[in-house]
Amino acid sequence: MFSANKSPQSWGRYPQVEASRVIPVFWRDELPNLAELELPVLPHGYGRSYGDSCLNESGILLDMSHLTRFLSFDVDKGLLRCEAGVTLADILELIVPHGWFLTVTPGTKFASVGGAIANDVHGKNHHRAGAFGCHVTCFELLRSDGQRLICSPEENADLFRATIGGLGLTGVILWAEIRLRPIRSPLIDMERIRFASLREFIDIAAASEQDFEYTVAWVDCLASGKQLGRGFFTRGNHAEQKNSDIIKKKKPLVIPLDFPSWILNMWTIKAFNTTNYSLQRKNSVQKTVLYDPFFYPLDAIHKWNRMYGKRGFFQYQCIVPYDDGYDAMKELLERISRSGQGSFLSVLKTFGDRSSPGMLSFPRPGLELALDFANQGNKTLELLEDLDEVVRQSGGVVYPAKDARMSPESFQTYFPHWREFTQYIDSKFSSSFWRRVTAATVGELEELPVKRL
Amino acid sequence: MAYEAAKCFARDGADLFLVGRSAEKLTTVADDLKVRGAKRAETYVLDLCELDRHQEMFEQAIASLGELDMLLIAHGTLGDQHKSEQSVAETMQELQTNCLSVIALLTISANYFEQQRHGCIAVVSSVAGDRGRKSNYVYGTAKAAVSAFLQGLRNRLSSAGVSVVTIKPGYVATPMTAHLKKGLLTASPQSVGYGIYEAMKKGKDVVYLPWFWRPIMFIIKCIPERIFKRLSL
């Protein structure tokens, strides 16, 4: 939620642009007449996308954060229907006591359901469950011509596929229905294994996918030479036992103000990474934890994005296909390590081949790397462009939900179907991201091909 | 605000009877509250400005729930002060919505709860009723009257074991205040809703939500009138 008199930001706090107007939406049947609005519109939830895909410079944002009601919950079948502004945290609070869990959850529970669909988010179980969109059974989409369409794999199937991963450009998702997965307890049995190299990571990942629903790794992105690609591999499963009361919930911390930019520099981060790597003496540690610290460790620190200071930060998240995945990933890690940029939040993960219905979805089989870079201006932008070069050549992809800077050429290489997608865009909708990667300005919008529905 | 409080009661598995002007909105909210754990969520479409229909609605509520343990009155409008200054009709309408309709409903329900000899009546008044200010004194007048009425009612019903709770929220981010600028003092409807729930469960007398409005309003009430009349608050 944000105040009406302040233009909302994205999570990376870059770029800092202003919408000309923010319209709060309180009821599903009381949206403004979109066709009559003078500027392009974009639905906005809680601003948990990192770049500019949730921003609409000089346009109108529809604040969806007040649409937080549930429509129905079939406790026997695990089907939940809720409004688009409901957060994943709200859902978990409701469903976990009934023995259900989100089939796919991203690394924050403060995202909205509408945003999870529009970005087709994924989680630590991509190798098993695919992306969020795989478990969306249907949703209602409001188009600017006033049509309210129920979209599902059977009904308005094209629009269903376009809207999943469609970055909010196909209309307003009013409510959605998702399929949940059963659990026996809110606990996770997890194991943390040390690995010394990228090759070791790939081997452990391959050996874990069969028996572990959740896998992810932290990598020390500043290590170089022989230590390149060292880190920790975390794997886990929903626990079978029930006694969760033994584990106390911790209160979240809040970062109360912007850190000065010098606090996070190469040396402090290197020190953190080395300490973090050396702290676990044993090669492998097993424990049972509540689902919260396992899935959402960063949610425990509210407003952690302030650690990167006023200038904000970039997150670079890419997948390189398995074929020459090792070489491409090694090249990426080398380039990052050489640059001395990069941060402590670096993640490696293997993606499976379960494809999402989403036309413009990011997830695909391969090796995924995600890491943060404090915004240091051109120096950072040049490094990220360097990384793009490797990802482009490998036939990989960069995640729009995290992006604030990729070039139109990169985007169009990563998403060759983007032109096919444009026919499903609602002519009244646009975003800063979309104008950037299609190199269109607000005035040129009308020229994009629009399919009449 | 009332919805957020109702969410808390729903989690406890309460039986609810919701009254409002729009059938669609009531259904939307009732469905939500049922998902959240309410055993029942009945709805009744009524504009509370129609005073002569209160009795019928109240009887319907008793008939459908069996008996009433708690009543929360939380409707209201934040009218345009300037319009009210120019129009008697506008001013009367404001008083009708924010004051007379509340007092009418309280009159009926007070007798019910007095006879039942237990229960809780809570009403959303406002810090605006603590002192008249030029920026919203029509709204403030209505809320002041409600607060005074509740004071008397609390006095009357205390021997019957019925608690009467006056809720005085400050600025809350709701559809009613969507057009206003939001500042540091603006509270979320979630936190205020939970405060209402807590106050009703504990049978409090007068609660400021959030709590810091109590000292703020204390200071504002202490300012001598000859100074206050020159201020723009």
Which residue type, as a one-letter code, is found at position A66? Answer: H
Q: Which of B29, B178, B180 sits opposite A69 (nearest CB)?
A: B29
DSSP-derived letter for residue A428 is: T
Helices (H) and strands (E) in chain B, counts: 10, 6
pLDDT score of A243 more than 70: no
Tell me the backbone φ, ψ of residue A112, rounded to 5 degrees: -90, 160
Predicted pLDDT at B105: 98
Q: How far is A26 from chain B (nearest CA, A)?
A: 7
Tokens of A242: 């029930």
Could you tell me which residues come within 8 angstroms of residue A379 by beta carbon, excluding any fewer than 6 positions away? A339, A341
Predicted pLDDT at B210: 94
Residues of B in contact with A24 (CB under 8 A): 175, 178
Q: Are strands B162-169 and B119-124 parallel, antiparallel or unpaired?
A: parallel
pLDDT score of A115 more than 80: yes
Neighbours of A296 (CB within 10 A): 18
Which of B1, B25, B28 is the best mutation test for A, with the most CBs of A within 10 A? B28
Q: Which has the minimum average pLDDT: A102-106, A295-299, B182-186?
A: B182-186
Residue A98 at interface with chain B, using a CB cutoff of 8 Å: no
| Helix orientation angle between B2-11 and B189-202, rounded to the nearest 10 degrees | 60
Residues of B in contact with A27 (CB under 8 A): 24-25, 28
Predicted pLDDT at A263: 74
Mean pLDDT of chain A: 91
Beta bridge partners of A179: A79
Residues of B in contact with A3 (CB under 8 A): 173, 181-182, 186
Cβ <8 Å between B32 and A71: yes
Long-range contacts of A105-111 (CB under 8 A, 24+ apart): A105/A295, A106/A132, A107/A295, A107/A296, A107/A298, A108/A48, A108/A296, A108/A298, A108/A299, A109/A295, A109/A296, A109/A299, A110/A46, A110/A48, A110/A299, A111/A45, A111/A46, A111/A48, A111/A87
Instruction: Give the SS3 label for residue B64.
Output: helix
Cβ <8 Å between A70 and B175: no
Cβ <8 Å between B181 and A73: no
Q: Which residue has the tokens 């007070």?
A: B110
Q: Which has the minimum average pLDDT: A135-144, A340-349, B35-44?
A: A340-349
Q: How confident is the model at residue A449 (pLDDT cuts 50, 70, 90)?
A: very low
Residues of A in contact with B2 (CB under 8 A): none
Distance in angstroms (rounded) separating the CA atoms of residues A72 and A79: 8
Among positive and negative, which fits the CA dihedral A371, A377, A380, A381? positive
pLDDT by 10-residue block (mean), chain B, 233 residues: 96 97 97 98 97 97 96 93 94 96 98 97 97 95 98 98 97 83 84 97 97 95 94 85
Predicted pLDDT at B117: 97
Which of A69, A96, A178 is the best mutation test for B, with the most CBs of B within 10 A? A69
Predicted pLDDT at A1: 38
DSSP codes, A69-89: -EEEEETTTTEEEEETT-BHH
**Taking residues A336-360, what's their average pLDDT?**
91
Judge residue A427's burial from the number of C-beta atoms within 10 Å of its C-beta, 0-12 exposed, 13-18 middle, 19 or more buried: middle
**Taking residues A188-214, what's their average pLDDT?**
95
Distance in angstroms (rounded) separating the CA atoms of residues B183 and B188: 12
- H helices within A105-223, ranges in order? 113-118, 126-129, 157-163, 198-208
Predicted pLDDT at A445: 46
Q: What is the pLDDT of residues A8-37, one digit of tens each?
A: 999 999 999 999 999 999 999 999 999 999
Closest residue on chain B to A79 (Cα):
B35
Q: Which has the minimum average pLDDT: A141-145, A222-226, A347-351, B114-118?
A: A222-226
- Distance spanning both ends of chain B, measured CA to CA: 25
Distance in angstroms (rounded) separating the CA atoms of residues A179 and A67: 20
Q: What is the pLDDT of residues A365-421, one digit of tens each?
A: 999 999 999 999 999 999 999 999 999 999 999 999 999 999 999 999 999 999 999
CB pairs A-B closer than 8 Å = 39
Distance in angstroms (rounded) separating the CA atoms of residues A36 and A272: 53
Predicted pLDDT at A246: 56
Predicted pLDDT at A21: 94
Cβ <8 Å between B35 and A3: no
Q: What is the dihedral of CA B30, B33, B38, B44, to 10 degrees?
A: -20
Q: Please report the residues numbered 136 through 195 in chain B whose beta carbons come closer than 8 angstroms to any beta carbon of chain A.
A: 173, 175, 178-182, 186, 188
Cβ <8 Å between B28 and A27: yes
Which residue type, as a one-letter code, is found at position A32? Answer: P
The answer to whether the CB of A64 falls within 8 A of the CB of A81 is: no
Q: How far is A58 from chain B (nearest CA, A)?
A: 20
The answer to whether the CB of A321 falls within 8 A of the CB of A368 is: no
Tell me the backbone φ, ψ of residue A302, rounded to 5 degrees: -65, 140
Q: Which of A3, A71, A73 sits opposite B182 (nearest CB)?
A: A3
**Taking residues A106-110, what's their average pLDDT?**
96
Cβ <8 Å between A94 and B31: no
- H helices within A256-372, ranges in order? 266-279, 291-295, 325-339
pLDDT score of A448 more than 80: no
Residues of A in contact with B25 (CB under 8 A): 27
Predicted pLDDT at A245: 62
Distance in angstroms (rounded) separating the CA atoms of residues A388 and A381: 10
Q: Which of B32, B175, B181 sits opposite A69 (nearest CB)?
A: B32
Peptide bond into B210 cis (omega under 30): yes
Q: Which of A5, A71, A73 sits opposite B181 (nearest CB)?
A: A5
Residues of B in contact with A1 (CB under 8 A): 173, 188
Predicted pLDDT at A440: 59
Distance in angstroms (rounded) separating the CA atoms of residues A198 and A227: 9
Which residue type, as a one-letter code, is found at position B36? Answer: R
Residues of A in contact with B171 (CB under 8 A): none
Q: How far is A1 from chain B (nearest CA, A)?
A: 9
Closest residue on chain A to B10 (Cα):
A94
Q: Please report the residues numbered 13 through 42 in chain A whose beta carbons come closer than 8 angstroms to any beta carbon of chain B.
A: 24, 26-29
Residues of B in contact with A29 (CB under 8 A): 24
Distance in angstroms (rounded) separating the CA atoms of residues A346 and A363: 18
Distance in angstroms (rounded) separating the CA atoms of residues A100 and A111: 19
Tell me the backbone φ, ψ of residue A223, rounded to 5 degrees: -70, 150
